[in-house]
Amino acid sequence: MEAMIERCAGLDVHQETVVACVLFGQLDKKPKTSIETFSTTTTGLLALSDWLATLQVSDVVMESTGVYWKPIWNILEGSFHLVLANARHVKNVPGRKTDVKDAEWLAKLLRCGLIESNFVPPEDIRDLRDLTRYRKKLIHHRTSEQNRIHKILQDANIKLTSVLSDILVYRDAVSLKRF
């Protein structure tokens, strides 16, 4: 494999820790390796960012497993060229069983330009997606509760829906007339 990036890092991300492996050196020679473990707290992630900056890392790769990559991405986003790798594309290699080996493997793949990055939208779009998904979930919960109330009333032989199109809107209208 031919090296393409002089200073890169591979991150093996977990819920509580991040193992970082930095490969650096001339492209035509075997790279030097530096490995550290950081916590996933904000303080730990800022320490990771500082450590990567101290080693003059330009590119960083991590796997897109679950949601654990998101806080790390948010901290490192402005300082490094980030690559989010699909876990299926990089995990199908036998023999890598430790966090350190995973981080080193990711760094080696990135150094040789063998990792295709997943699309990560800009921060404002990610925030908007989070808000719309949360709104959708709230609406779903509200509808579910409305249906539950309707079912309880039907089971009690209270047939309000034969008179009203929406029993909850009527309740709100009655409470507004009191004021």
Q: Note down pLDDT in tens along the chain; length 179 residues.
A: 788 899 999 999 999 999 999 999 998 889 999 999 999 999 999 999 999 999 999 999 998 778 899 999 999 998 999 999 988 777 755 555 688 888 999 999 999 988 888 888 888 999 999 999 999 999 999 999 988 988 998 898 888 777 777 777 655 555 555 54
pLDDT (0 to 100) of residue 65: 73
Per DSSP, 165 falls in state S
Q: Which of 26, 17, 93, 123 is nearest to 62 (CA)?
A: 17
Other Cβ atoms less than 10 A from the Cβ of 162: the count is 5
pLDDT (0 to 100) of residue 95: 59
pLDDT (0 to 100) of residue 96: 55
Phi-psi region of 7 (alpha: psi -120 to 50; beta: other; left: phi over 0): beta
Q: Under a CB-based contact definition with an 8 Å cutoff, are residues 8 and 32 in contact?
A: no
Q: Under a CB-based contact definition with an 8 Å cutoff, are residues 31 and 112 in contact?
A: no
pLDDT (0 to 100) of residue 86: 84
- Residue 169's alpha-carbon distances to 25, 41, 152, 153, 161, in angstroms, are 68, 45, 17, 15, 12
pLDDT (0 to 100) of residue 179: 47
pTM for the whole structure: 0.75
Q: Under a CB-based contact definition with an 8 Å cutoff, are residues 98 and 132 in contact?
A: no
pLDDT (0 to 100) of residue 34: 95
- Please spell the DSSP secondary structure of 31-95, one letter per residue: PEEEEEEEESSHHHHHHHHHHHHHTT--EEEEE--TTTHHHHHHHHTTTSEEEEE-HHHHH--TT
pLDDT (0 to 100) of residue 19: 95
Residue 27, classed as helix, strand or coil, is: coil
